[in-house]
Structure formats: C-alpha cells, structure tokens
Amino acid sequence: MNDITCKTKITPKKIVGIDLGSREVKIIVTEEKKIVLRKKISTVSFYRDYCQYQNKIIVDLKKLGIEDVDLAVSTGYGRNNTDLSMFKPINEIKAHVYGALAQSGKKDFILLDIGGQDVKIVKIEKGLATDLDLNDKCAASCGRYLENMANVLEVPLDSLSNYSKDPVKLNSTCAVFSESELIGKIAEGIPLDRLAAGINYSMYSRLRPLLTKFRGNTLVVSGGVAKNRSIVEYLKSDYTEVEVLEDPQFNGAIGCCYYGEKFI
C-alpha cells in the first residue's frame, strides 16, 4: 500500500451510514465530515423497493440517490438485519454511542435512546461504553406506546408532546391496558391537555426505574422520543444537564459514519 491510499483510507471522503430500525431505516451520507444527506424510509419499503437478495442483501444505493461512496457502514436491530453486502456491520450500541459522541462532543454521559420498539441506556466514560441496559421486550416505554396513545386521543404525535402540566394518573404498567384506561378517562370527561400530559408522564415514569441504575449528571437523549418536549422536561428533574441531540432519530446512522470516518 502506498502512502496516498493509506491517507485516503484513513480519512475517506464520502461515507454512507445506514441504521436499520425495526420500523424505519435511517440513512446519513457525510462528505468531509459534514452531513450532506438525511433520508428516512419505512423498513418495509426499504427492503421491498431498494434491496435485492443474492445470498446477501444488496442495497441499491443509486436508487436511493447516493453515488460514489468510499465507505459504507450499517447497524441495526438484531445482528442479521445489519448484514448488507458491501457494508461493514457494526454493533447497534456502538453505533449509537459513536453517534452521541459525534453529536454532543461530550465524553462522559448517560445516553438514553428511545426508539420505536426498544429503549437503550448506555453509560459512557472517557468515550467508552462502560455500562448498558436494553429493554426490547416491553412496548410501554418506547415510541410505539406514544403513537398508539396519540391515535386513541386522535391528536398528532407532535402536539401530544406539548402537554406536561397536571397529568392525569394512568396506573397501568402495560401498553395495551393503558389504552383502555385512557378511554375510561376520556369517558370521565377529563380535558385533553391533562390526558395528553398523563400519557407523557406515564411514559416517563416507566423510564425511571431503568434510569435509576444509571445515575450521573449528564443525560443525552436520542431516538424518536427525544422529540417529545414534555418527557424531556420531566427528565430534567433527574439530571443536572439534559441534552437532546440535534438529529435524535439519525443518531445510529450518524454513528455509522463517525465509525467509518475514525476507525476504518
């Protein structure tokens, strides 16, 4: 290997990072360390419309509007999903940690990633993951819960997230039972703002037991639910500093690019 290729390999120009989520696929392209493309596609459509299968999954990057990449890195929910041809697969936790390191510029924090179907909490010390917990068996503390409850209330997810005051008490610990409990509260004539706040608060209170094992001063929040302003407000009472990443949903994909940039 001569010097030139060695250098270009160490700092590649164009990197594509793909995070294969359980419900959405997130794609980031970076050029010279800057994000030049963000793309979100439903997981079903990604596999159906942009992939072919020949022993391995082959992604049609051209069709996605991405060309001439130097490096491709993927991560995703469950290892098998990440095994795309020509892509370097990396562990999901690692991808999210690298995303958060790149986006926050911090080296010591607790990362809370709340996705559509799972929650990850990772403690990061000196830039390395030192503790973690995953909750992928219960829907009551992840994005799907909020979506379902917003549907029951017939309000858009985004406006649901505005309500935090005087939450109505929802006792059920189960996502399915919560729906009927909520309908009961609607029937009692409780106003919408209190119902919406109740949903946000119940989600927060289910995250709390997971978080108590991860005490610290700084919390960094990523994943779709990071967009919920009320939950973030509630979290602020438990940490000195709560930072919501700028691109919370793309954090895993950004982490893939960061990995490609730094380590390949």
Partner 1 sequence: MKKIGLTTTVPIEVLLAAGYTPIDLNNIFVVSKDYGKYIEKAERDGFPKSMCAWIKGIYGACIENGIEEVLGVTEGDCSNTKTLLEIFKKNNIKIHSFGYPHSHSLDDIKNELDKLMKYMGVSYEEVESQRDRLNLIREKAKYIDALTLEGKATGFENHILQLCFSDFDGDVERYSNFLDEKIEEINKRPIDKKGLKLGYLGIPPMQGDLHDYVEVLDGRFIYNEVQREFAFPRAMESKDIYEQYYNYTYTYDIDFRLEDIKKQIKERKLDAVIHYTQAFCHRAVEDIILKQELNIPILTIEGDKSNVLDARTKLRIEAFLDMLKDKKQRDYAKNRLEIINE
Q: Which residues bind partner 1 (CB under 8 A)?
A: 3, 6-7, 10, 91, 93-94, 97, 122, 125-133, 259, 262-263
Give the single-character DSSP code of 169. Answer: P
Closer CB to partner 1, 109 or 259, in the complex: 259
- CA dist 43 and 78 (Å) reads 14
Residue 136, amino acid: D
In SS3 terms, 72-113 reads as EEEEECCCHHHCECCCEECCHHHHHHHHHHHHHCCCCEEEEE
Tokens 């990850």 correspond to: 120
Mutual orientation of helices 143-153 and 192-212 as an angle, nearest 10°? 170
Strands 34-42 and 24-31: antiparallel
Task: Name the minimum Å distance from CB 132 to partner 1.
Answer: 6
Task: Name the minimum Å distance from CB 225 to partner 1.
Answer: 22
Closer CB to partner 1, 110 or 231, in the complex: 110
Nearest to 199 by CA among 166, 242, 227: 166
Tokens 């006792």 correspond to: 171
Task: Name the minimum Å distance from CB 24 to partner 1.
Answer: 24
Closer CB to partner 1, 127 or 209, in the complex: 127
Closer CB to partner 1, 5 or 54, in the complex: 5
Task: Name the minimum Å distance from CB 64 to partner 1.
Answer: 27
Tokens 């919406």 correspond to: 196
Task: Name the minimum Å distance from CB 89 to partner 1.
Answer: 12
Closer CB to partner 1, 23 or 94, in the complex: 94
Closer CB to partner 1, 19 or 24, in the complex: 19
Closer CB to partner 1, 131 or 246, in the complex: 131
Residue 247, amino acid: D
20, 74 contact by CB (below 8 A): yes
β-strand partners of 257: none
Task: Name the minimum Å distance from CB 131 to partner 1.
Answer: 6
Distance of CA 153 to the CA centre of its chain: 24
Task: Name the minimum Å distance from CB 172 to partner 1.
Answer: 27
